[in-house]
Structure 1
Amino acid sequence: MNITGEQKILAILAHLAYLLGGLGFIVAPLIIFLLKKDDPFVHEHAKQALVAHLAIAVVSAITGLLCMALIGLLIVPVIAILWLLLVITSILAAIKAADGQVYEYPFIQRLISKL
């Protein structure tokens, strides 16, 4: 399969969308996922990124709520590690996308297969 530069850029954007700030890290891969259903390479990268970003957002929100009850303060280091893991794996995914390869995020493949 011949992967074009545009396909690589869209896949990289989906993985590194957290650099956009705010909800951009969810909106960008979601838009790419919905608009590129006919492109297996871009669609798969966007799906991987979307699920990874949604998972970290949900875990962060739950931790934020628990912090209000002081219970979450114990979980904050875990969330920091998960965010670091997301940054590292998304950079690896972007490198794979730039090389025209597919990347699967660790720990979330069960969720990915349902989408």
Structure 2
Amino acid sequence: MYDTDKRKILSALCHGSIFFSLAFVSVGIPIAVLFVSDDPVVKDNAKEALNFHFNVWIYGIIFGILTIVLIGFLLLGILQIVNFVLPILAILQCLSNPEQPYRYPFIFRFL
């Protein structure tokens, strides 16, 4: 018979290690429990926790790449809209008030 309290603690520790996933060391907790424990339930929980870690990392990489690509397209789209709208506003401002120069908003002025 295996100790149920020890089983609960070690299994919870394996699955709870994902909350420390920002530190790459978190995967070491289920690995250590896998090698130290001889309880088959704890070993299965450690294996499952490791699988979950690997899945989270893979999905994180995939979603990170998609975010970069999609945000890149979004930012390029916004840039095209700004590149189209602001000159039209500048032209209209210059035609309606030729005495005052138009200043584009949200730009850095080096000169």
**Superposition TM-score, scaled by structure 1 size:** 0.51
> Which 5+ residue runs of structure 2 have no aligned equivalent?
74-111
Rg larger in 1 or in 2? 2
Instruction: Tell whether 2:47 aligns with 1:47.
Output: yes
Higher relative contact order (CA 8 A, sep 6+): 1
Instruction: Tell whether 2:17 aligns with 1:26.
Output: no
Q: Judge conservation of contact 1:16–1:25 (CA < 8 Å) in 2.
A: no
Q: Distance in 1 between matches of 2:31 and 2:55?
A: 13
Q: Distance in 2 between matches of 1:7 and 1:66?
A: 39
SS at the partner of 1:16? helix
Q: CA deviation at 1:15?
A: 0.6
**Superposition TM-score, scaled by structure 2 size:** 0.52
Runs of 4+ in structure 1 over 6 Å off:
none
How many residues are matched?
72
> Which 5+ residue runs of structure 1 have no aligned equivalent?
74-115
Deviations 1:14-68 (A, max 9, x none): 01112234224422112212332x3212101111111012111111112112322
